[in-house]
Amino acid sequence: MIQLSIVSYALLSALAVLVAALAVDVYRRRRMQAKQALIGHEELPAAPGPRSWPLIGSLHLLGGYEVPYAAFTDLAKKYGPIISMNLGSQKCLVVNGLNNIKDVLVTKGAHFDGRPNFARFHQLFCGDKENSLAFCDWSDLQKVRREMLRAHTFPPTFSSRFSQLDIFVADEMRDLTSRLDATNGAFTPIKPELMHACANIFTAYFCSKRFDRHDAAFNRTIDNFDSIFYEVNQGCAADFLPWLLPFHSKQMAQMKNWSHEIREFMENFIINDRLARRRQGLVAQDESTDYVEALLEHVEDQQTEKLLTFDSALFALEDIVGGHSAVANLLVKALGFVASRPEVQERVKIEADLATGNGARPLTLQDRVTMPYTDAVILEAIRMISSPIVPHVSNQDSSIAGKMR
């Protein structure tokens, strides 16, 4: 049985992969960066869009949909692929279509590399969203953080990190299936099981640590990460209407509490012990290549110039470990989609049986190449759950498809 309702409903939008929302706060920055404005922009037409009302702008148009972002699809039918609209006082461009999205994210990526200044994001990261990997503006700090991560998040095929990941995934899958087998088909909520398995893959891979299914502190940490994941995937009117914030004070305090508890867990169960052993030269062989080691090396090594403080290293680690929520929630959704489509299940099973000799060995990451159908099912699930969770903010005047605001 699958508990779909727990998953952020904002992730349900089937079309959102085609829709990138950009908050373009050109006004705020225009004066500052007038010199950077590209010649000729003044003559470009503004994108069409709905009428704007005082205070709310066109925010009311996002109401009445199961997911607010679904409104963008209807608006695109009316106004075309590039829509200009005010959300609260934020001037926004909503961009549809692959080529236009590529323009924003790639070709002109440097023009749109900021992230919105939502109060919620500050709350989740100790008052400063620049502590976050996903909600920060582009900066030298971010550059360092991303470079340190690359080897871990994109391990080349056949590299030792890649095969380590394979082993951790196989270990957790074995653990998960034996737990599920032990239920003898009794009703078992699958989400907590998947959350635990994914969280352990992440902590094993990034921190060289795994935790028992009955570990209460780990369980609570997983729930805290999940709460944050749910929160960041919600659209919230107060993001665009800051005068609504006083009505959200309880929610804001709750968010702070989740991130504080996560910090306590990371310190008590991952960092403190490692740091102490590291200082005594007692880091184990398999720990010496993990992400925790890379972070600690950076902050502890006296030689390097420190762009990353101890605090920002911890935030980065928490962010990355928190990525398990995205994967586990995707898997819950993917299983839900597949559960209602027996013919899809059947084809996935045939591929898996072929790849593993009817289950004679566990699946590995390399099997992906011989399982194109399963690969496509996963990609389709990602397409169906994606939401424009992290709008981009422009740092200068720019244009998309000849339209400018």
Would you tell me which residues interact with ligand HEM (CB under 6 A)? 105, 133-134, 153, 320, 323, 326-327, 330, 382, 386, 389-390, 392
Only segment of 61-69, 161-169, 257-265, 335-343 that touches ligand NAG (CB under 6 A) = 257-265
Nearer to ligand HEM, 123 or 387 (CB): 387
Nearer to ligand NAG, 139 or 257 (CB): 257
> Interface with ligand NAG includes 157 (CB under 6 A)?
no
Yes or no: say if 76 and 94 are a contact pair by the CB < 8 Å rule.
yes
Nearer to ligand HEM, 76 or 389 (CB): 389
* CB 160, min distance to ligand HEM, A: 19
The size of the interface with ligand NAG (CB under 6 A), counted in residues, is: 10
Strand 392-393 relative to strand 19-23: parallel, antiparallel, unpaired?
A: parallel
Can you name the residues that pair with 23 across neighbouring β-strands? Answer: 92, 393
Nearer to ligand NAG, 146 or 260 (CB): 260
- Contacts with ligand NAG in 176-215 (CB under 6 A)? 192, 195-196
Whole-number Å distance between alpha carbons of 83 and 73: 10
List the one residue out of 197, 135, 136 whose CA is nearest residue 170: 197
Q: Among ligand HEM, ligand NAG, none, what does residue 333 contact (CB within 5–8 Å per kind)? A: none
> Interface with ligand NAG includes 222 (CB under 6 A)?
yes
Q: Which residues contact 291 (CB under 8 A, 6 or more apart)?
A: 148, 149, 152, 205, 206, 207, 317, 320
**Farthest CA pair distance, the chain:** 69
Q: Could you say which of 117, 153, 177, 219 contacts ligand NAG (CB under 6 A)?
A: 219
Query: Tokens at residue 326, please?
Result: 């995205």
Whole-number Å distance between alpha carbons of 174 and 230: 28
Whole-number Å distance between alpha carbons of 289 and 324: 20
Q: Among ligand NAG, ligand HEM, none, what does residue 320 contact (CB within 5–8 Å per kind)? A: ligand HEM
Whole-number Å distance between alpha carbons of 104 and 69: 18
Whole-number Å distance between alpha carbons of 250 and 370: 50
- Strand, helix or coil for residue 402: coil
* CB 38, min distance to ligand HEM, A: 22
Nearer to ligand HEM, 283 or 326 (CB): 326
Can you name the residues that pair with 96 across neighbouring β-strands? Answer: 19
Q: Could you say which of 139, 157, 160, 257 contacts ligand NAG (CB under 6 A)?
A: 257
Q: Among ligand HEM, ligand NAG, none, what does residue 194 contact (CB within 5–8 Å per kind)? A: none
Site for ligand NAG, rule CB under 6 A: 192, 195-196, 219, 222-223, 257, 260-261, 264
